[in-house]
Amino acid sequence: MTHSIKRGVSLYSFQEEYFLRKLTLEDCIAVSVGFGALGIETIAEQMMPGFPDLSDDFYRRWDAWREQYGFQPTAHDMFAELKLYPDRARPTGELVEDLKKDIDHTARLGATVIRILAATPAEVVELAAPYARDKGVRLATEVHAPRRFSSDWFASHFEVAERVGPDVVGICPDLGIFVKRLPKVLWERSLRDGADSDFVKRVVDVYDSGEDTSTLQDEAERLNLGPLEQDIALQATRFIWEEPRQLLDYMPYIHHVHAKFYEIDDSGEEYSIPYQEIISVLKEGGYDGYLSSEYEGNRHIQDAFEVDSVEQVRRHQEMLTRLLADED
């Protein structure tokens, strides 16, 4: 099936190396482009110190990198600072003003999408939408586990998207909503920490068979198990499996995709997320945006292993290349 799906990387993937000052913003771009991932998604508050008041110098440097590496800026990830004031809620008007700064920044980067953090009130998106339209920027609310398409939360955001129109407001599915098997890195860590192996196996079995995970914490309590078992039971409730074909109901609204992954093992596959099935649906639906690699395995392995986000992204991009080329 012919398609126009493009490959990209969210620089979120390199958080560990950036934190440790092993990679700079420019390094992260160069590494991604080296894997043929020409769409670059950025988190200003991670790698652009001074945001939202970035200097002309910064933007000139950015333009020069674009020229040098030939990448396309894809999305800017915004954060709604809902709890900025310890003693009072953030007024809606201030959140809208913040979002307008995000829109200006996105337009200046040359990107066309803002990842709207799921916690952002739908009203804020609607109020900023006319400004986004003027600037040629689309607002894509992230559909992120454990939130589901069937939730009231989704309904309220989708209502705004329908009212404003998909040319400006839409969604950014995070593929972490399609976790079919509990990530191996998650339960292996639990075992390393010393959790009861029978109970960990029970959690994995319940999750992987699609049964209800919400009773696992009670079960751990009945068995007189400790905090490690409580923790894996709780974590299992934060992962979800949605049917990928649901994406077909929202195709005109899908402006960006966070290609979340926890681990690409030596076989070159993502253990927990069935990428082939998902990409096949995106092709069928005519998705023509970016699959933006988002590595999130570091936190689960850093107790015992050297984190190599670059190698993980390389493997992920290799897998995407293969699946995008498949004739299915």
* Residue numbers at the binding site for other proteins (CB under 8 A): 12, 15-16, 18-21, 43, 45-46, 49, 79-87, 117, 119, 299, 302-303
Q: Nearest approach, Cβ of 44 to other proteins (angstroms)? A: 9
CA 85 to chain CA mean position, Å:
27
Nearer to other proteins, 94 or 265 (CB): 94
How far is 154 from 93, CA to CA, in rounded Å? 22
Q: Nearest approach, Cβ of 80 to other proteins (angstroms)? A: 6
Nearer to other proteins, 46 or 293 (CB): 46
How far is 190 from 186, CA to CA, in rounded Å? 7
Q: Nearest approach, Cβ of 62 to other proteins (angstroms)? A: 18
Please work out, in degrees rounded to the nearest 5, the angle formed at the alpha carbon of residue 163 by the alpha carbons of 162 and 164. Answer: 95
Answer for the pair 208, 180: CB distance below 8 angstroms, yes or no. Answer: yes
Nearer to other proteins, 18 or 62 (CB): 18
Q: Nearest approach, Cβ of 52 to other proteins (angstroms)? A: 10
Q: What is the DSSP letter of 88?
A: S
Nearer to other proteins, 21 or 222 (CB): 21
Backbone phi and psi for residue 21, each to the nearest 5 degrees, phi listed first: 60, 25
Nearer to other proteins, 88 or 222 (CB): 88
Nearer to other proteins, 69 or 153 (CB): 153
How many CB atoms within 10 Å of residue 21? 7
Nearer to other proteins, 117 or 251 (CB): 117
CA 211 to chain CA mean position, Å:
25
Dihedral (CA of 145, 151, 152, 158) sign: positive
Structure tokens, 208: 């992987």
How far is 66 from 76, CA to CA, in rounded Å? 15
Nearer to other proteins, 87 or 327 (CB): 87
Closest CA to 46 of 94, 78, 70: 78
Q: Nearest approach, Cβ of 326 to other proteins (angstroms)? A: 33
Q: Which helix (H) or strand (E) holds 73?
A: strand 72-77
Q: What is the DSSP letter of 235?
A: H
Q: Nearest approach, Cβ of 92 to other proteins (angstroms)? A: 15
Q: Nearest approach, Cβ of 188 to other proteins (angstroms)? A: 16
How far is 297 from 29, CA to CA, in rounded Å? 20
Q: Nearest approach, Cβ of 117 to other proteins (angstroms)? A: 6
Dihedral (CA of 14, 15, 19, 24) sign: positive
